[in-house]
Amino acid sequence: MAVEDRLAKLGITLPQAAAPVASYVPVVVTGNMAFVSGQLPFVYGQVMVGRLGDDVSVEQGAAAARACGLMIIAQLVSAGLADRVDRIVKLGAFVTSTADFTDQPKVANGASDLMSEIFGDAGTHARAAVGVPSLPLGACVEVDAIITLKD
Q: Which stretch binds a second copy (CB under 8 A): 9-17, 66-74, 76-84, 100-108?
A: 100-108
Does 26 bind a second copy (CB under 8 A)? Our answer is yes
| Amino acid found at 136 | P
* Binding of residue 99 to a second copy (CB under 8 A): yes
* 100 touching a second copy, by CB under 8 A: yes
What SS3 class is residue 92? strand
Contact letters (x/-) for a second copy, 105-134, by CB under 8 A? xx-xx--xx--x-------xxxxxxxxxxx
* 18 contacts a second copy (rule: CB under 8 A): no
CA 102-94-20 angle, to 5 degrees, is 160
C-alpha to C-alpha distance for 104 and 128, rounded to whole angstroms: 10
CA distances in angstroms from 34 to 2, 30, 51, 52, 57, listed in the order given? 19, 6, 30, 30, 32
Residue among 8 and 128 whose Cβ is closer to a second copy: 128
Distance of CA 16 to the CA centre of its chain: 14
Binds a second copy (CB under 8 A): choice among 42, 92, 119, 140: 92
* Shortest spacing between CB 10 and a second copy, in angstroms: 17
Any contact of residue 150 with a second copy (CB under 8 A)?
A: no
